[in-house]
């Protein structure tokens, strides 16, 4: 009986490990920053409060989907970028820049006297990053 359990366990382990193999499933994807077009952010913050900051962007194609934010903080400065996942295994249809998509991030106000937000808006003709910059004062 013990031998049957061991054999069954070995077979089960083989089956499960074959499901987790690293073979190529044929789906190819990458991540892409998408320029932020508009922002909705308060004029001032109150220390200790949490605020929802909403950004709007255009989805470049039907192969793009919201993946999250690239968020970087240095001192009182916050750099925010929208990240889309791009599925590369099919023909993509370009979407007209008519419908803005909203995405939100929650921000907890700490002990700084103000915060400088830099929202990524793409690159210029020379390849330099462009940002929409807002400084938000903090009140007690």
Confidence band (pLDDT; 50, 70, 90) for 41?
very high
Least confident segment among 61-65, 73-77, 118-122 = 61-65
- The two tokens of residue 49 are 């409060």
CA atoms within 13 A on the CB side of 137: 2
Query: What is the Cα–Cα distance from 79 to 121, expressed in whole angstroms?
Result: 11
pLDDT digits (tens, 9 = 90+) for 7-27: 544 555 554 444 444 445 567
Confidence band (pLDDT; 50, 70, 90) for 99?
confident
Domain ranges within the chain, ordered by starting residue:
25-139
Q: Which helix (H) or strand (E) holds 17?
A: helix 2-19
DSSP state for residue 33 in the 8-state scheme: E
Pairing of strands 100-108, 45-46: unpaired
Sign of CA dihedral 19, 21, 26, 32: positive
Q: Which helix (H) or strand (E) holds 112?
A: none
pLDDT on residue 89: 73
Mean pLDDT over the full length of the chain: 86
Say which CATH topology domain 25-139 has. Immunoglobulin-like (2.60.40)
């Amino acid at each position: 009986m013990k031998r049957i359990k061991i054999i069954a366990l070995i077979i089960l382990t083989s089956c499960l490990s074959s499901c987790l193999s690293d073979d190529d499933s044929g789906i190819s994807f990458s991540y892409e920053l998408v320029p932020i077009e508009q922002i909705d952010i308060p004029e001032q913050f109150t220390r200790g409060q949490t605020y929802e900051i909403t950004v709007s962007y255009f989805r470049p194609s039907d192969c793009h989907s919201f993946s999250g934010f690239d968020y970087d903080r240095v001192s009182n400065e916050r750099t925010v970028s929208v990240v889309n996942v791009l599925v590369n295994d099919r023909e993509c249809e370009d979407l007209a820049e008519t419908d803005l998509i909203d995405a939100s991030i929650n921000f907890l106000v700490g002990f700084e006297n103000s915060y400088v937000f830099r929202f990524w808006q793409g690159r210029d003709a020379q390849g330099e990053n462009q940002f929409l910059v807002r400084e938000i004062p903090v009140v007690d």
